[in-house]
Chain A
Amino acid sequence: MAQGLYIPTFIANENFDPAVINPRVFYYNGLKTIQPSPVFASIDSTRFATSYNRPGEFPYFDHYSSGSTDETPDENSDSLLFFNEQTAYGTLPTNTLYTEYWQTYIELLYNPKTRFIECEANLPFAMYRNLNLNDIVVFKGSHFHLRAINDYNLKTGDCKLELLGPIIKDSLD
């Protein structure tokens, strides 16, 4: 069975009036065969000769990247959606933007065991300068993510620290 043609469409209503749309992003997965393909008309630069082409393919744009075997998505494809919707072609990918990029972070914040610690410290300026917010802080033998260094007094070194822990399990890998 021949597959249908599925393409991005940007319209304001069912009458196909053009729409004011927000930016749209896609993966370009290369050319996909379609039979019969649309006919493409063109005229040359001198406006003398016209031609009508039927390339047999169309440029396939989708929310999902191509799979490992062909241009259609498979379960390992990348997604541009936080939740994967039904695919037009291929197989629904497993990962979403949420699972790929947000889940670890959200699980840190919402883990019932995660504790938020506020404390005061006095840091030498050299230490302050070398601290990065992705550093893992050791405090009394336990590891914490450094959430914030607030009100660091450049004259005295006094400051307020915000820590989160326990740390994400692969932080020390």
Chain B
Amino acid sequence: MTNYFFRVIANGVELDTFKDEEVLVSNNATGLFDIDKLPSDFTRDLSIPGSKKNNDFFQHAYDINIDTPYLFQATTKVECYIEISGYLLVQGYLQLNNVNTVNNQVDTYDISLYGSLSDFSRDLQTNLLTDIGGLDIYNHTSSYANVSDSWDKNLFNGDIVYPLADYGKGFFYQSAALPGQFGIDTRNGSISTQDFKPAIRVVKVLDKIFEEFGYTYTSTFFSQSQFDNFYMLCDRDKQYPVYDDVDLETFGKVAIKPTSGSTSDIVLNTSTYTQLNFDNIESDPSFVMASGSVYQLAEKDVLRGTIKLQMFISGSATGSIGHPQLDVAMVSSSNTYGMDIDEINRYLRETYSQLQAIGEKSYTLEETWVSETATTMREGDYEFKAKYSITGSGDFDITIAKDGNTESEIKVEELRFAADNRIMEIPQNMPFGDSGITCLDFLKGLQKKFNLVITPSKLNANQFEIETFNDWYKSGNVKDLTQFIKMDKNIQVSPANNLAVNELEFTDTLGKDYLARNFNDTNQRTYGASIFRDSENQFSQGKLDVESIFSSGPLRYIEGTGGTGTGSTLGYAQSITYNNSKFPICNDDRFAGTAYIASSRGYLQYGDVLYWDINLTLPLRYYFLVRDETNGQIWTLNTSTGQINGVGSNC
């Protein structure tokens, strides 16, 4: 090559080089035989002389004291580009590795030159998805309005959508519920904002990664419309989303029990509440329990938990006896909110209806409770209290935790509106895995899923082109190299598959997800994995996993959903729709949705039973008002049966 010259320009300064420096460079096609690696471009180690110009440059760029050169900042990257005979060879950065001195004079500098792709890979390797600060443009208020708006792609133009997914709550429908449980199709078991985690458009994450580190990319592949609907879950691993100001995993949760060996029986009576003075605090991670077994509720909310009561019931009545019914409540100085314990009361009712004498009996009964209120519980300091009533006759006496029994327990397990109106910060909710998901892992994951080729642009600095292999290999040009290939040198020809492994497994990472692992155990393979075996070549050996950082697993069937109803055998089912915004009849507890009745008359009337489903199998329970949109009539409902039992009015 004539007039060969080699220039390294760093921060605009042309560094002195040894004129006899021979530079060899290599270019390899993405992933051929190295499928699991990102391509790298120019990387070269060089020695350059300790000339005055170079000393000045490195003293400035690396803060080198010539007398103590070992103190320089080795981690500093300096932008540079390399020219060969006036042509730009590569743009990237320079890193100083060593300063070599002889007789207290700098002799040479050992430097590494990296192409921009190498630089990019390094940046991506050292930053996690949770570090992408630019994603904060997607921060928003957590609310059902935003959740439901996102479903129509009205939240950030569809960049954020909230899936319905189960992160550990164990969703089921009421028809599959055990006694005392509430399905998500009931008001008491309803899903709230905290049960939703956002998903973000994958392409937007990709955009922000490039933007964050000062790069751009072009891609006809990711511009396709299918990627408008391609989302990554923002799941930081816990049951609830992550918020700055509160840990929802523990917020408001407590477990309290009677003190072991206590001699203070809790004797209930029928007229006034008696405190369930469970002063053994088993768990109170958010410090909401005050002395005296007082639960401090900071904000208006609906509480849910479990209650286990060890009861000693005694009495002398015989013959036709009635049955006791417990009334457990959270009581503050100004408010009393009942706790729904229907199942415990049903047990007592059914048990004593079959007995001829009260006698002395002990029971330990447990069920899920929800604060039973037409509105929500107001903030305040609450004691758990209980009393009972007697239906029919009988001298029932009820004692809780008799003789120091410690089986009883009250748990608050959820505050339904704990997440509402908090700020959802997208960066800190990005996937983290066990120890952080690097941006490089994410990009390589996409590369492996879609067999992407990532190449630095030859036209624009810090720009990359991302295409699938299928598009990439067809976009090159035909170039005849016959005259440049040395025919007098050895030309080695070998079957390509001799160089490849015998087995390739294309798979997502198995991960720790139970459903995916269960699938793997049952089927002896990873969910969604494809295995290629080279059956043609008997010499190839080994196995290579083309494994993305992403995981996959089967969708879960929610128990109790679907059904085998045969349609409306009870008459004509009719849809009646109610609208929250147009006809505000009451701020709480109205029914807003579609219900069905066994009639085709076109309007509601006294005695109708409203059902959730068109097959008329699930009565509309837990609501006390309904508005007939066809004529504006407001009716009251029996909250247990869904039957219209009177004429209502606006609140």
A97: chain B residues within 8 A (beta carbon) = 449-450, 506, 530
Is B536 on the interface with A (CB-CB < 8 A)?
Answer: yes
A161 to B28, CA, bound (A): 10
Is A68 on the interface with B (CB-CB < 8 A)?
Answer: no
A173 to B478, CA, bound (A): 11
A37 to B588, CA, bound (A): 19
Is B210 on the interface with A (CB-CB < 8 A)?
Answer: no
Question: Are the C-beta atoms of A38 and B552 separated by less than 8 Å?
Answer: no
B27's partner among A23, A40, A133 (CB-CB below 8 A) is A133
A78 to B230, CA, bound (A): 10
Count of A residues near B, CB < 8 Å?
129
Question: Are the C-beta atoms of B562 and A26 separated by less than 8 Å?
Answer: no
Is B15 on the interface with A (CB-CB < 8 A)?
Answer: no
Question: Are the C-beta atoms of A82 and B528 separated by less than 8 Å?
Answer: yes
- Considering only CB atoms, which chain A residue lies closest to B170 in the complex? A16
Question: Are the C-beta atoms of B437 and A22 separated by less than 8 Å?
Answer: yes
Is B375 on the interface with A (CB-CB < 8 A)?
Answer: yes
Interface stretch of the complex, out of B72-80, B268-276, B553-561, B600-608 = B553-561
| Chain A interfacial positions (CB closer than 8 Å to B) | 1-14, 16-31, 34-43, 45, 47-59, 61-63, 65-66, 78, 80-86, 88, 96-98, 101-102, 104-106, 108-112, 114-127, 129-141, 143, 145-157, 161, 164, 168, 170-173
Question: Are the C-beta atoms of B186 and A155 separated by less than 8 Å?
Answer: no
- Considering only CB atoms, which chain A residue lies closest to B504 in the complex? A106
Question: Are the C-beta atoms of A152 and B587 separated by less than 8 Å?
Answer: no
B229's partner among A4, A28, A152 (CB-CB below 8 A) is A28
A145 to B507, CA, bound (A): 27
Question: Are the C-beta atoms of B549 and A2 separated by less than 8 Å?
Answer: no
Question: Are the C-beta atoms of A109 and B161 separated by less than 8 Å?
Answer: no
A59's partner among B164, B451, B486, B614 (CB-CB below 8 A) is B164
Chain B residues numbered 97-114 whose CB sits less than 8 Å from any CB in chain A: none
A sample of 12 cross-chain residue pairs with beta-carbon separation below 8 angstroms, ordered by A number, consists of A9-B556, A19-B514, A20-B512, A21-B237, A41-B191, A42-B193, A54-B594, A59-B162, A88-B557, A116-B495, A135-B477, A154-B23
Interface stretch of the complex, out of B131-139, B144-152, B315-323, B633-641 = B144-152
Is B262 on the interface with A (CB-CB < 8 A)?
Answer: no
Question: Are the C-beta atoms of B514 and A20 separated by less than 8 Å?
Answer: no
Is B37 on the interface with A (CB-CB < 8 A)?
Answer: no
Question: Are the C-beta atoms of B580 and A10 separated by less than 8 Å?
Answer: no
Is B434 on the interface with A (CB-CB < 8 A)?
Answer: yes
A120: chain B residues within 8 A (beta carbon) = 485-486, 489-490
Given known pairs A28-B163, A34-B561, A82-B506, the reply for A40 and B190 (CB within 8 Å) is yes
- Considering only CB atoms, which chain B residue lies closest to A130 in the complex? B479
A13 to B1, CA, bound (A): 67
Count of B residues near A, CB < 8 Å?
161
Is B343 on the interface with A (CB-CB < 8 A)?
Answer: no
A104: chain B residues within 8 A (beta carbon) = 469-470
Question: Are the C-beta atoms of B491 and A118 separated by less than 8 Å?
Answer: yes
A161 to B198, CA, bound (A): 49
Question: Are the C-beta atoms of A56 and B593 separated by less than 8 Å?
Answer: yes
CB distance from A130 to the nearest CB of B (A): 8
Question: Are the C-beta atoms of B489 and A19 separated by less than 8 Å?
Answer: no
Question: Are the C-beta atoms of B433 and A25 separated by less than 8 Å?
Answer: no
CB distance from B434 to the nearest CB of A (A): 6
Query: How many CB-defined contacts (below 8 Å) exist between A and B?
Result: 474
Question: Are the C-beta atoms of A151 and B431 separated by less than 8 Å?
Answer: no
A105: chain B residues within 8 A (beta carbon) = 451, 469-470
- Considering only CB atoms, which chain B residue lies closest to A52 in the complex? B187
Interface stretch of the complex, out of B57-65, B399-407, B414-422 = B414-422
A132 to B184, CA, bound (A): 57
A114: chain B residues within 8 A (beta carbon) = 495-497
- Considering only CB atoms, which chain A residue lies closest to B556 in the complex? A9
Question: Are the C-beta atoms of B614 and A138 separated by less than 8 Å?
Answer: no
Residue among B468, B509, B553, B588 with max Cβ neighbours from chain A (10 Å)? B553
Question: Are the C-beta atoms of B477 and A101 separated by less than 8 Å?
Answer: no
In the A-B complex, the 5 residue pairs with the smallest Cβ-Cβ separation, listed nearest first, are A4-B562, A81-B528, A42-B144, A134-B476, A36-B612
A133 to B594, CA, bound (A): 60
- Considering only CB atoms, which chain B residue lies closest to A108 in the complex? B496
Question: Are the C-beta atoms of A54 and B593 separated by less than 8 Å?
Answer: yes
Given known pairs A61-B199, A106-B532, A121-B485, the reply for A19 and B563 (CB within 8 Å) is no
Given known pairs A80-B449, A85-B527, A133-B28, the reply for A9 and B165 (CB within 8 Å) is yes
Question: Are the C-beta atoms of B580 and A18 separated by less than 8 Å?
Answer: no
Question: Are the C-beta atoms of B475 and A134 separated by less than 8 Å?
Answer: yes
Is B376 on the interface with A (CB-CB < 8 A)?
Answer: yes
CB distance from A51 to the nearest CB of B (A): 7
- Considering only CB atoms, which chain A residue lies closest to B182 in the complex? A39
Question: Are the C-beta atoms of A11 and B168 separated by less than 8 Å?
Answer: yes
A137 to B476, CA, bound (A): 10
A155 to B202, CA, bound (A): 44
Is B565 on the interface with A (CB-CB < 8 A)?
Answer: yes
Question: Are the C-beta atoms of B550 and A132 separated by less than 8 Å?
Answer: no
A151: chain B residues within 8 A (beta carbon) = 24-26
CB distance from B26 to the nearest CB of A (A): 4
Given known pairs A2-B562, A43-B420, A85-B528, the reply for A148 and B27 (CB within 8 Å) is yes
A80 to B168, CA, bound (A): 24
Additional A-B contacts beyond A47-B300, A104-B469, A121-B485 (10; CB < 8 A):
A5-B557, A8-B166, A18-B237, A26-B199, A50-B302, A111-B496, A129-B87, A141-B482, A152-B26, A154-B23
A154 to B474, CA, bound (A): 28
Given known pairs A19-B237, A115-B493, the reply for A39 and B190 (CB within 8 Å) is yes
Q: Mark B164-201, 1 if CB is under 8 A from A, else 0.
A: 11111111010000000000111101111100000100
Question: Are the C-beta atoms of B451 and A139 separated by less than 8 Å?
Answer: no
B235: chain A residues within 8 A (beta carbon) = 10, 21, 23-24
A17: chain B residues within 8 A (beta carbon) = 168
CB distance from A170 to the nearest CB of B (A): 7
B85: chain A residues within 8 A (beta carbon) = 125
